[in-house]
Amino acid sequence: MEFVVEKLQLDRVFTNAIYVNPSHCNLISNGYVLINDTYIFGVLEDSSLSENKVLMSATARTLVVVIVGEKVKITPCQKNIQNIEALKLEVNLLGQGEIKLDAIELAEKLKVIYEATPLNYGQTFVFEHKHKTLKFLVNELTLEKDNSMDVLQGVISESTEIFISSSSNKIQLTNAKVDTALLKPNFSFEKLEIGGLKREFEQMFRRAFVQRLFDPETIKKMGIPHVKGIMLYGPPGTGKTLIARKLGTLLGANPPKVVNGPEILNKYVGQSEENIRNLFAEAEAEYKAKGDHSSLHIIIFDEIDAICKKRGSDASGVGDKVVNQLLSKIDGVNALNNILVIGMTNRLDLIDDALLRPGRFEIHLEISLPDENARFEIFQIHTKQMTGNSFLDENVDFLKMSSLTKNYTGAEIAAIVRAASSYALERNIAQNEEAKGTLAANESKPIKIDMSDMLQGLLEVKPAFGVDENEFNTANKVIYETKQFDFILLKAKDCLHKLRKTVLFRTNSMLLYGPTGTGKTTLAVQAALSSQFPFIKFITPRDLVGLSDFEKVSHIKEKFSDAYKSEEAIIILDEIESLIEYVGIGPRFSNNVLQALKIFIKNESNKTNSKVFVFGTTSLPHVMSECGIVECFNDCYEVKKCNSDDYEQLCIQNENFKKVDFTEEMSIKKLLTLLPEN
């Protein structure tokens, strides 16, 4: 039945019900009605009303989206209305003045007055308390049984748990309950789509958020200051920005402010510092008004190393001022207690040390490369829609893909999925026969992404922390099977296998020495590539040409730092005498590079559990011994020139060697140059 909407008198708006003429017994007897087949309201009678009219408050009209004079459809509610298990309300004060509210007392009063009163998600209603008019917004409600309906609605019962919050400066809220549903054990991290980061997410939640779930008075009595800063660091593409965003949304805090580091910088004097102050302005205003009861403000700095480099490293001094301003806001004299600053960087070593101490960015969490289980989750997340819409073939094996993608970041796995989908889409492109030379999509043919597409995508996308085959093209040559070559390769294989299996040490090394051209580099590369270690990097004299000592040390440090980010890694130091710029006349060498190599060869990383194997090659073993390099390597093997026995083995493998005039021992490189062209 349709009714004309009339305005409800102010003295009756607190009932949170609509009014109709007593003649509508079918509506009144039921107690609940549906407006426009959607919203549930309680119904009361008013004999002064015409039969075709209904009285509705302003808040009810706003929810239904109707104005005075318009018609609405009202029918008896035939639904089985459930009790509300948990109810989250946001309260505001209507009118002038301020008020102090006890959340527990107010929640109990609401349950008594509004017991059996229906509420709809997104609904607002007004309530009189201490001669003040309060306006409540239903932010969230959880039903006792079914929460899958299109419009969440239910009735308040004696067992309803009510959580009251406020963002108004007019209200000082005490004893506010915390919604412990955020910590439910059956919470699904997969729904947050942060595959492989569950452990990191839980660690941050425990360190930075758990104490914020308690009443501020309790924490104040314990004397525990809140954590105000988290620094997320790790390789690009591992999900640092994603995990920071999800933290803010999970807590139901104010929407996090996300700012890129370079955006803070400005050409005008003092503007960069003002940009920092503006980020904290809202939190400052609320903290002044509400103190420890103010809501949490999350500020996220992406690429924070752009603005927070070590002080003194910037000639202009702008970076120093930005660091000082940030320090004063986080941990200054008038420090705020309602902020959480999250910084993200790929280069933790560039950040000013003062920012990283406790009280500032005290939580340092590395978001490392995903392991096999994490990669499996990431593949599932990025193909979720494909699977749901039947675009993914049944033969796609994510277990196999996750085992093949060692050292791939989340971003690189997403790129594999995109590359695979491009192959599937390409198969559905047909040439338009009418217009020659033009292409059109074949909509009639179903799109299916199969395992072959995934493998093609894997070949296209190379991991940044993997093996670059082009880097080893010059050294990855044919290995002829000689007695000494087989022996050295076997020893290298044993050392690599022992490092992979042991828990007693995390680094191992092998030095190959001998005359120039005997195949030391080729043997090292062959042993490394056959090991199937996911990360292999080559450091050669060619890489260091034109660099200063400082730049050379930085280059070497960067290679080893990248190696420590992988679970298993191999570094090949080729021609160590050239890396340290050794010259026999003098003699002269770079002591800075020498000391850096000695440190990285023999020392384990104390920050990761990664296993790193170092191969070294040199043609001057006596020099390496005097420099102390030989002592840094666990195993040393000489690669000699080919003798007559080796020559006979070479002739069996390649008859062209018989045409070489072999009269004395010579290097394998010289033998190969003497081979005839055919």
Q: What is the per-residue pLDDT across 516-559, written as a single tens digit (0 to 9) for each?
A: 988 898 899 889 988 888 888 989 998 899 899 999 999 999 89
Pairing of strands 339-345, 611-618: unpaired
Which of 100-138 are b and which e, b meaning 16 or more Cβ less than 10 Å from the residue's Cβ? Answer: ebebeebbeebbeebeebbbbbbbbbbbebeebebebeb
Residue 227, both tokens: 């954590």
- Express each pLDDT in 587-596 by its tens digit: 789 999 999 9
Residue 405's alpha-carbon distances to 155, 368, 372, 609, in angstroms, are: 52, 15, 8, 19
Report for 285-294, 347-356, 415-424: range of highest mean pLDDT? 415-424
Q: How confident is the model at residue 472 (pLDDT cuts 50, 70, 90)?
A: low
Q: Using alpha carbons, select from 481, 497, 487, 563 the residue that is nearest to residue 530.
A: 497
pTM value is: 0.65
pLDDT at 432 over 80: no
Q: Are 429 and 462 in contact (CB under 8 A)?
A: no
* Confidence (pLDDT) at 551: 92
pLDDT at 470 over 80: no
Q: Are 290 and 167 in contact (CB under 8 A)?
A: no
Does the bond joining 255 to the residue before it have cis omega, within 30 degrees of 0? no
Q: Are 259 and 299 in contact (CB under 8 A)?
A: yes
* Confidence (pLDDT) at 147: 53
pLDDT at 607 over 70: no
* Confidence (pLDDT) at 20: 92
- CB within 8 Å of 630: residues ≥ 6 apart: 511, 621, 624, 636
Q: How confident is the model at residue 478 (pLDDT cuts 50, 70, 90)?
A: low
- Express each pLDDT in 167-202 by its tens digit: 788 888 887 765 443 333 334 455 566 777 777 777
Residue 174, both tokens: 């005490």
Pairing of strands 568-573, 363-366: unpaired
The CA distance from 176 to 252, in Å, is: 15
Q: Are 161 and 176 in contact (CB under 8 A)?
A: no
Domain at 84-177: CATH architecture: Roll (3.10)
What mean pLDDT comes out for the span 600-616? 83
What mean pLDDT comes out for the span 5-14? 89
Class of the 372-460 domain?
mainly alpha
The CA distance from 614 to 563, in Å, is: 10
Instruction: Tell me the three state secondary structure of residue 488.
Output: helix
The CA distance from 116 to 108, in Å, is: 14
Range 602-607 contact pairs with CB under 8 angstroms and sequence separation of 24 or more: 602/507, 602/509, 602/632, 603/507, 604/505, 604/506, 604/507, 605/506, 605/564, 607/366, 607/564
Domain assignments of the chain as residue spans, ordered by start = 2-76, 84-177, 189-365, 372-460, 469-638, 644-674
189-365 and 469-638 share one fold: yes
The CA distance from 633 to 636, in Å, is: 7
What mean pLDDT comes out for the span 297-309? 85
The CA distance from 601 to 588, in Å, is: 22
pLDDT at 399 over 80: yes
The CA distance from 495 to 505, in Å, is: 12
- Express each pLDDT in 490-517 by its tens digit: 999 999 999 988 888 889 999 999 999 8
Instruction: Return the number of other C-beta atoms located less than 10 Å from residue 230's C-beta.
Output: 23
Residue 285, both tokens: 């205003």
Q: How confident is the model at residue 309 (pLDDT cuts 50, 70, 90)?
A: confident
* Confidence (pLDDT) at 362: 87
- Express each pLDDT in 33-89 by its tens digit: 999 888 999 999 998 899 999 999 999 999 999 999 999 999 988 777 888 888 889
* Confidence (pLDDT) at 508: 92
CATH of domain 469-638: 3.40.50.300
Residue 363's alpha-carbon distances to 313, 340, 357, 358, 429, in angstroms, are: 24, 11, 9, 8, 51
Q: What is the mean pLDDT of the chain?
A: 84
Residue 348, both tokens: 């933790």
Q: How confident is the model at residue 609 (pLDDT cuts 50, 70, 90)?
A: confident
The CA distance from 422 to 196, in Å, is: 25
Give me the helix-helix angle, 549-564 and 591-602, nearest 10°.
10
Question: H or E segment at 119?
Answer: strand 118-120
Q: How confident is the model at residue 440 (pLDDT cuts 50, 70, 90)?
A: low
First to last CA, the chain: 99
Pairing of strands 84-94, 132-143: antiparallel
The mean-pLDDT minimum among 93-107, 148-162, 533-547, 616-630 falls in 148-162
CATH of domain 189-365: 3.40.50.300
The CA distance from 83 to 228, in Å, is: 39
Q: Are 205 and 342 in contact (CB under 8 A)?
A: no
DSSP assignments along 518-567, one per residue: SSHHHHHHHHHHHTT-SEEEEE-HHHHTT--HHHHHHHHHHHHHHHHTSS
Class of the 2-76 domain?
mainly beta
H helices present in 252-397, as ranges: 261-264, 271-290, 318-331, 372-382, 384-388
CA angle at 354 for the pair 352 and 356, rounded to the nearest 5°? 80
CA angle at 352 for the pair 464 and 368, rounded to the nearest 5°? 30
